[in-house]
Structure 1
Amino acid sequence: MPSSRRTYLAGVGVGLSTIIAGCSDESRPTSTPIASNWEQIGHDSRHTSANTSISNISQGDTHWRTELEANAEISGVAVIDNRIIAGGRREMERGFLSQISLGDGEILSSVELSTPVIAPPVLSENSVITTCRIDGQTGNLRSFDYEETERWSHRVAGTLPAPPAIHQSVVYGGSRKGEIFALEESDGDVRWERTLGDEQTEGAVSAPPTVDETGVYIPLSSSAAQGIYSLSPTDGTTKWKIEGPRILSILARTDDVLLVSYPSYDVAAFDIRTGERRWSTSLAEKEVSPPAVSDGIIVVADETTLYGLEAETGEERWSITCDPDTAYQPVIAGPTVLIQSENSLICCSVEDGEQLWTSDHSSGIPIVPFENGLLFSPAPNTLAAYSSYQE
């Protein structure tokens, strides 16, 4: 089955060894990870990076640690129930997809792929979609069932395609050549496709589409037509567009607005029906993370500070200095928000920004929460589960 890390690993199967380790303080045993779902890059196709059904993630330590072959590199992971789906690459030219037990880190099954997996898997109840690189000019999406049988493949123009999004049994994706498409989840048949951009500079879709019942929201860069597009989920026609901004990161859809992080200082909210700007807020530093949002609070980071903003107005509610890693979207798990820094993980209250705990662990992939902990990658070939101390 699949697995993944920041650049996306490759090669699972023969020769993998699993190491299970308890917490470092034997007097404080950690809790067994509890089943939860984090099926897409930002939790679901709206990419809010929030799972409000999780109760809390409190202070803890490493519950288990699984090491893959030395030449493996994890690109990212997703979770469905008690299973982790991980994808990645090995020796640059091959890939792997693995199913791992959430409870103890045991590798349940794996399949070696001929192409490296370069992004976290995207899951539904019936499908595992991997994003793969074929060569310097093309990539593809590959669909598997949970028995590891490949069902279909869809070729994508341009190197390093962004992961897709799944919504209501349709797979939405884009390419660095400005191609936008909707595929049937069951068989990969094209429902619709179109090209944004122009012949000379083309377009580039650098982040997964954000999708709901009303629209497919596309950030387009590297083109005279760059900007933000709202397309019809039914046929891909343009509903509205905002010309000009060069958006490189994932968009978040909440309530009646689309939240956008600019690659230079700003966070903005746009009306989901018209594209009209509701508000924008400038941050102190240039690099800005993708936004996460839950219960009317937006959490976003710049190079030095983590912020909580009012979703309705963009006004600052709280801020803490914590040297966050802006490459990653903050992760909201119930009442807490988790952010990576260069050498640690930091947990704060979403409500007021109070710092609840820090850990000296760091991760090379986007962290994924479960009910009482989170998954992280402390080394390119290693996956670990951090869970709360037993009470």
Structure 2
Amino acid sequence: MASATTVLAATAGCQTNSCTPTDPGVAQWPQTRASPYNTNAVPDQSTLTAGGDYWTSSLADDIDITGLIATNDTVVVVGRTSGENNGILTTVQLDDGSSDTTHELNRRPTGPPALAGSIAVTPVLGDYTEPSTGGLVALDTASWTTTWTHETAGRPNPPTVADDLLVATSDQGDVTALAASTGDTQWTRTFGDDHQRASIPAPPAVDDDHVYITADGSAAQGIYALDRETGETQWGIPGPNIPEPLVRTEDVVLASYDRYELAAFDAADGERRWSKAMYDGGLFAPAVGHSRVFSADEETVYAFAAFVFS
């Protein structure tokens, strides 16, 4: 039986089939997104100290945890049934670990949900006949009813929510802005061309003005800032391969190249502000907190004064 403590470890550390909570292997650990600015930091969080289990909450033996997200009083957990093309979504109370209700998803979740009020929006695969497609399912955890669904041409990334804006992306170049509460489409962009669509490898960062994405493909590769209201490209930096999520903080967008470099670009116009070389292979997405930018490659963790370079 999986405890809530095990669930948290599995979600933090295991992104490959060979990975276990006690032996994470080579999987890269995802980081808290924290806010629409995607700073990957919660500097006001009280200090975490070592201690015993506060509570445990058991899930069914055949459920593999796909992801979770926490609010002030509730943890929303999504998982999938081994060997099946379906999944579950359940809520767990933070104060005592009690599980409220478990809802069956008729499609397999691929990552953690995003929350818009009481609505949990989960990325899911298409049906078993179309495994390369997918979409989003929005479930109201107050009424346990499906509020809306959205289909994507490819496998979806976890969505990004900022106020009532939800941005959906996929590995087939789709970028769609939706109303988080209703699922109504506000605008759609597709990156690539008629011969090959580009992949959007990671969820976007969003601020008051822009949606920042990366694309990877022969017809479109680089960093793009899209108008939040219309989806029109405001600026672009063709060329760089950025597989990890962008981080939007202060007046810059931070980008971890696939190897050897962390760079900061002006959020307003895309001008390159500074960069730092790293020498030990692939980079993780940066995190920001206490006026520092933290980054890591395969061998070393780096801390930079965040805005000395500006």
Confirm or deny a common fold (TM above 0.5).
yes
* Distance in structure 2 (CA, Å) of the matches to 1:262 and 1:104: 42
Q: Deviations over 1:326-372 (max 9, x none)?
A: xxxxxxxxxxxxxxxxxxxxxxxxxxxxxxxxxxxxxxxxxxxxxxx
* Distance in structure 1 (CA, Å) of the matches to 2:182 and 2:55: 37
Q: Deviations over 1:146-174 (max 9, x none)?
A: 2221100000111x311111112011121
Greater fraction strand: 1
Map residues 103-118 of structure 1 onto 2, 5 A cutoff. Answer: 103-118=95-110
Q: 1:123 to 1:266 in 2, by over 3 A?
A: same
Map residues 1-391 of structure 1 onto 2, 5 A cutoff. Answer: 5=11, 6=14, 42-91=33-82, 92-134=84-126, 135-147=130-142, 148-158=144-154, 160-313=155-308
8 A Cα contact 2:107 2:125, kept in partner: yes
Structure 1: runs of 5+ lacking an equivalent: 9-39, 316-391
Secondary structure of the structure 2 residue equivalent to 1:130: strand
8 A Cα contact 1:209 1:216, kept in partner: yes
Q: 1:109 to 1:314 in 2, by over 3 A?
A: farther
8 A Cα contact 2:85 2:106, kept in partner: yes
Amino acid paired to 1:289: F
* Distance in structure 1 (CA, Å) of the matches to 2:139 and 2:119: 6
After superposing the two structures, state which structure 1 stretch, 226-235 or 164-173, moved more: 164-173
8 A Cα contact 2:273 2:309, kept in partner: no
After superposing the two structures, state which structure 1 stretch, 306-315 or 199-208, moved more: 306-315
Q: 1:224 to 1:56 in 2, by over 3 A?
A: same
Q: 1:41 to 1:112 in 2, by over 3 A?
A: farther
Q: Deviations over 1:368-389 (max 9, x none)?
A: xxxxxxxxxxxxxxxxxxxxxx
Deviation of 1:179 (Å): 1.4
| Cα RMSD for the two superposed structures | 2.1
8 A Cα contact 1:230 1:241, kept in partner: yes
Q: After TM superposition, which residue ranges in structure 1, 4 or more long, deviate above 4 angstroms? A: none
* Distance in structure 1 (CA, Å) of the matches to 2:288 and 2:302: 11
Deviation of 1:63 (Å): 2.4
What TM-score comes out, normalization by structure 1 length? Answer: 0.68
Amino acid paired to 2:180: E
**What is the aligned-residue identity percentage?**
35
Q: Deviations over 1:167-224 (max 9, x none)?
A: 1201112121111111111211111112112222211111111101010001111233
Say how many residue pairs are matched. 282
Amino acid paired to 2:77: A
After superposing the two structures, state which structure 1 stretch, 208-217 or 142-151, moved more: 142-151
What TM-score comes out, normalization by structure 2 length? Answer: 0.85
Deviation of 1:254 (Å): 0.4
8 A Cα contact 1:281 1:314, kept in partner: no
After superposing the two structures, state which structure 1 stretch, 304-313 or 265-274, moved more: 304-313
* Distance in structure 2 (CA, Å) of the matches to 1:266 and 1:169: 34
8 A Cα contact 1:215 1:232, kept in partner: yes
Amino acid paired to 2:76: I
Secondary structure of the structure 1 residue equivalent to 2:54: strand
Amino acid paired to 1:165: T
Q: Identify which of structures 1 and 2 has the higher relative contact order when contacts are C-alpha pairs closer than 8 Å and 6+ apart.
A: 1
Deviation of 1:313 (Å): 4.2
Amino acid paired to 1:68: L
Deviation of 1:7 (Å): 5.0
* Distance in structure 2 (CA, Å) of the matches to 1:41 and 1:98: 20
Structure 2: runs of 5+ lacking an equivalent: 1-7, 17-30
* Distance in structure 2 (CA, Å) of the matches to 1:245 and 1:61: 45
